[in-house]
């Protein structure tokens, strides 16, 4: 197995800086997702690793070897594209065999009829056929091998594309939004299959997606990219519960995190709309107070004043949308449907974020240390 290390990789397309000194290390056998909005640079970084783009600066190593001077074909990297890129005139078996045929048979041995007469051709073809059969069994597509892409469903074509990558036994797998063309139900099933396949094959994998759910459910680590930079990389749990940047907090999670304009007074207490939040910080002035929907609950006695705008019943949960005075976006609170009360549109309520789980960010959007304090305390000793 081989790891990947990109150091200070930059890439510009005309006036657009696609990558701004990006560094990324993927351990041998690790599954890392690059996630972010369209145009953030994640596909450019992947294509640079594959050798399909040449960085303006920086280095890329695979298995400890600097591959900057190697062609894409010589990097021993397999890439699965969003479009699958299958040859429509070839069967699934032939599509999967293409990389092995190109690698193991020279131009003469690939010729029809004549090639089979040359020494070693038949044995090489038998080995290729055996490799394809083993990979097809691994993917559960043995009965589809004689079909052409036009006769396969989207999920089946995706498996063939994966099989074409796996059959080479590459050092690295690169997957560029391979599930985006599948319907929602099939995406859920297929992402589980890809994770199981990764565990069996064990190669280092970089997975590009704009779908945060895919990234969070499939990866060992998630790298959140925006505007050509990696803002944070860590386990899905860390990225969700401990975001270091407000942009990361806002991107990861559905419904998105609630962000309130807040003020820290001279006493260190943080207030939203003049209401104490039960949180203290060691700075003074304007900041952003953020809380996940599951960490906010309606409270009959105290909390941030709000007015109900909409209620969504999801079966197991209720999403309560409420408007706080002066806020540009509605606050969303997620509650257990069995414990949630009844709310009417226009009803005045109070929302109480859990102080122990609140996230605070400074004016530049960077995370700052905060701690929960008893409500009503007049003076706070900050450490």
pLDDT tens, residue by residue, 184-220: 777 888 888 888 888 888 889 999 998 888 999 999 9
Tens digit of each residue's pLDDT (9 = 90 or more) over 141-189: 999 999 999 999 888 888 898 889 889 888 899 999 888 877 777 788 8
Nearest C-alpha neighbor of 211 from the set 83, 34, 69: 34
pLDDT above 80: residue 375? no
- Of all residues in the chain, the percent with pLDDT exceeding 90 is 60
* Tally of CB atoms within 10 A around 130: 10
pLDDT band of residue 377 (cuts 50, 70, 90) is very low
Residue identified by tokens 């807040």 is 262
Q: Which two tokens stand for residue 199?
A: 């565990």
What was the pLDDT predicted at 259? Answer: 94
pLDDT above 80: residue 78? yes
Report the run of H or E that residue 7 belongs to, with start and end.
strand 4-13
User: Strands across the sheet with 275-281, in order?
Assistant: 367-368, 359-361, 285-291, 258-264, 269-272, 275-281, 370-372
- The pTM score is 0.85
Report the run of H or E that residue 248 belongs to, with start and end.
helix 246-251
Please check whether residue 288 is in contact with residue 261, taking contact to mean a CB–CB distance below 8 angstroms: yes
Cis, peptide link before residue 255, omega less than 30° from 0: yes
Instruction: Please give the radius of gyration of the chain, using alpha carbons only, rounded to the nearest integer.
Output: 26
Residue identified by tokens 């102080």 is 355
């Amino acid at each position: 197995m081989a790891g990947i290390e990109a150091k200070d990789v930059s890439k510009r397309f005309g006036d657009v800086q696609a990558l701004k000194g990006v560094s990324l290390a993927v351990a041998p056998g690790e599954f890392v997702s690059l996630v972010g909005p369209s145009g953030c640079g994640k596909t450019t970084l992947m294509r640079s690793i594959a050798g399909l783009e040449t960085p303006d600066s920086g280095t890329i190593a695979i298995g400890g070897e600097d591959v900057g001077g190697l062609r894409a074909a010589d990097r021993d990297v397999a890439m699965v594209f969003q479009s699958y890129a299958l040859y429509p005139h070839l069967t699934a078996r032939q599509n999967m065999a293409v990389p092995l045929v190109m690698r193991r048979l020279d131009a003469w041995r690939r010729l029809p009829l004549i090639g089979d007469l040359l020494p070693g051709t038949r044995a090489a073809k038998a080995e290729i056929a055996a490799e394809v059969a083993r990979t097809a069994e691994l993917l559960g597509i043995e009965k589809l091998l004689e079909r052409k892409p036009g006769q396969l469903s989207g999920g089946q074509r995706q498996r063939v594309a994966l099989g074409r990558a796996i059959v080479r036994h590459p050092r690295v797998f690169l997957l560029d939004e391979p599930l985006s063309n599948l319907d929602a139900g099939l995406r859920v099933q297929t992402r589980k299959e890809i994770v199981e396949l990764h565990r069996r094959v064990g190669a280092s994998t970089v997975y590009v997606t704009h779908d945060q759910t895919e990234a969070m459910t499939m990866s060992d680590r998630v790298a959140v990219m925006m505007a050509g930079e990696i803002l944070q990389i860590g386990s899905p749990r860390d990225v969700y519960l401990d975001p270091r940047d407000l942009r990361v907090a806002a991107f990861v999670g559905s419904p998105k995190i609630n962000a309130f304009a807040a003020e820290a007074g001279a006493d260190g207490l943080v207030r939203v709309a003049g209401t104490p939040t039960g949180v203290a910080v060691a700075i003074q002035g304007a900041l952003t107070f953020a809380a996940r929907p599951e960490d906010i609950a309606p409270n009959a006695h105290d909390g941030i004043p709000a007015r109900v705008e909409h209620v969504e019943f999801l079966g197991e949960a209720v999403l309560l949308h409420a408007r706080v005075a002066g806020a540009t976006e509605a606050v969303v609170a997620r509650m257990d449907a069995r414990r949630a009360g009844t709310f009417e549109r226009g009803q005045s309520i109070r929302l109480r974020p859990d102080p122990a789980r609140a996230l605070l960010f400074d004016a530049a959007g960077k995370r700052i240390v905060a701690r929960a304090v008893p409500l009503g305390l007049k003076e706070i000793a900050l450490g």
